[in-house]
Structure 1
Amino acid sequence: MSGVLAYHQAKLEQGEFLIQRCTACGKHVYYPRELCPHCGSMSLEWKAPKGSGVVHAVTTVRRKPADGGDLNVSLVDLDEGVRLMSRVDNLAPDAVKIGQRVKAKVVNGLVLFEAEGAK
């Protein structure tokens, strides 16, 4: 792995979540790219997102308890306008709902989410 992907992963391993923003068209980009997928510019800068977003879609993956039990797989739309696949970590898999507000966190080099207001 090299270039923007290596940089992105290194930052995640340091606990820092970054997305890109195109300085030509102003749109945010995620997953990291060498070129802006919106306008083709190579003028991308790294930005720390607010990390807040909303669950766009969710499914529950059924696993045996010996394999770690069920987990959710969620598509999350960040407030910056990018969508990523992850999971909501602080709720039971069946409790994650479309439209739910979530907040990003980095755990062991992965971007995970917590439902806002959940305990």
Structure 2
Amino acid sequence: MKLTLGQYLASIRLDRKMSLRQVEEASQKAVSNAYLSQLENGKVAQPSPSVLNTLAELYGIEYMTLMQMAGYLPATNARSAESRHGRVATFAEHNLSPDEEAELIKYLQYLRTKKP
């Protein structure tokens, strides 16, 4: 299952331990908490490039990734990475602790043992 733009942004915001209001304040009201809520809940599917740029800078993530997820750019880079590595790293933008990384690896190993 592929994450939507809204789901992805929500996961990054939660990883950064920010509330909707904190994002609004940090963006100097360039992105209101109500608008971000609508975006994260899928009510807004294609925010402006300006909003995406603000969120990318605020969260410390790649602007081009957001532009691709919003449908402004083709996902050619993601496709080439998928063909080389099977998938783009799911948690690459999340600040995982070493313990969390270890647990994810253990869980992945467990899942792989269950495949026929």
Which TM bucket (shorter chain)? under 0.3
Q: Per residue, is there more strand in 1 or in 2?
A: 1
TM-score by length of 2: 0.24
Q: Per residue, is there more helix in 1 or in 2?
A: 2
TM-score by length of 1: 0.23
